[in-house]
Amino acid sequence: MALLRAVVSSVLLSRVLLALVLDLDDSFKDSRMEDVWLVDFYAPWCGYCKKLEPVWEEVGAELSRSGSPVRVGKMDATAYSGMASEFGVRGYPTIKLLKGDLAYNYKGPRTKDDIIEFANRVAGPAVRALPSRQMFEHVLKRHSVLFLYVGGESPLKEKYIEVASELIVYTYFFSASEEVLTEAVVLPELPSVVVFKDASFFTYDEYEDGSLSSWVNRERFQSYLQIDGFTLYELGETGKLVAIAVTDDKDQSDHSSRLKGLIQRVATEHREQFNRDFQFGHMSGNDYINSLIMGEVSIPSIIILNTSNEQYFLPAEPVEDLQQMLQFFSSVLDGSAPAYGGDGIFQRIKRVAYDARSTIMSVFRSSPLLGCFLFGLPLGVISLMCYGICTAESDDGTEDLELMKAEEEEEEERLTERTEEEEEQTDRTAEEELTESKSPAEKKLD
């Protein structure tokens, strides 16, 4: 009985969660402007979409429970392909937050907490006001990276609001008066735009940092962080080179710890020299890096990735101290370090072959029988076709040869017969001439 009640409760809970995620159709185009929507565009056959489905139900339940104004829905992009195209859907699943005429793409990890944090951040105002010092201190503790405009109305504030509307998908933007700041925050001038991160703050300088949008894009990450596949994808959009200590988190050896410590020191102690061009971090394991470079890096080691052109740099010898680390980074910047990889035609062909090989190996590792069926059957069919073609060509050649031989024999027989006829004709002619040359007496005797 208890088991039955548990099953019934589970079914009812599942139905409640599903009710909080609406199935959208063509009518959504006319009604979406009335609310802020978080929509999952999916395909029924997509494996990643099926994996996201339970997470999406939890997202809908949590946003509803917290009183968020964001409504959660999902749309079969294959059934409503026209609408999916209007929203710029190119793959599955695609997560978008729709607010008025604006559509924001979500590119982060597909976890409940990350998706909810994105929805709440983007659904609110692009720039949030901080009315008190208490609120300022609260957001400093809550966010690892945030941007703050300090001052009154100005052209810089207008530009700041414009940049915030564009980049709100990545980070938080706030505004405040100078009185809200703590005594430790001293600004050279007002108005100013400041980024708070790494237990410090850094002020935007238009003459040194270029456009505000580019500066925010470069500074939206902590100087040093743990890197995974999703993070590396976003780091590539900053335009920086990504310097990674490739380690094994389970390996607590001195070499691994020293390598991470050295790259952290470069990120903090030498920020002025390298921050504009490098993003620093570490990655546990080398599988992801190996797939990117189509090779193998040892653990622990240092690698610098240029995600814009798929080049990478490796130190000529193991890095043992800070001076060697600094020399390696400097050699990358001045062009003396050799670059590997790239996005040339040879590398693209190599990538196709590598991906095909990886896919085949993955299938065989997970299911050898399925691999034999998927790849063995087509190869067998192709082999039979090739054998048939070659055999047919061989048979045709044999028949042609036999035909030529028969024609030659017929020609020889005709020549032989003609020769014999000519010889007989010659003999008859000779006899006739001999007969005519004889006298009448000889003829009578004959």
pLDDT in tens, 10-39: 433 444 444 589 999 888 888 888 889 999
- 326-345 mean pLDDT: 92
The pLDDT of residue 362: 65
Lowest model confidence (mean pLDDT) among 137-151, 311-325, 420-434: 420-434
Q: Indicate the pTM of the whole model.
A: 0.72
Q: How far is CA 391 from CA 386, 387, 397, 409, in A?
A: 8, 6, 10, 27
The pLDDT of residue 391: 66
Q: What is d(CA 422, CA 425) in angstroms, rounded to the nearest whole number?
A: 5
The pLDDT of residue 129: 95
- 401-423 mean pLDDT: 68
The pLDDT of residue 283: 92
Q: What is d(CA 171, CA 375) in angstroms, rounded to the nearest whole number?
A: 46
- 1-16 mean pLDDT: 42
pLDDT digits (tens, 9 = 90+) for 251-299: 777 778 888 999 999 999 999 999 999 999 999 888 888 888 888 888 8
- Give catalytic residue positions: 46, 49
The pLDDT of residue 131: 94
At residue 4 the predicted structure's pLDDT band, cuts being 50, 70 and 90, is very low
The pLDDT of residue 87: 86
Residue 396 has pLDDT above 60, yes or no: no
The pLDDT of residue 274: 93
Residue in the structure block whose two tokens are 């095909």? 356
Residue 168 has pLDDT above 80, yes or no: yes
Residue 72 has pLDDT above 80, yes or no: yes
Spatial neighbors of 21 by CB under 8 A, at least 6 apart, are 56, 57, 59, 60, 72, 73, 74
Q: Do 403 and 409 meet the contact criterion of CB atoms below 8 Å apart?
A: no
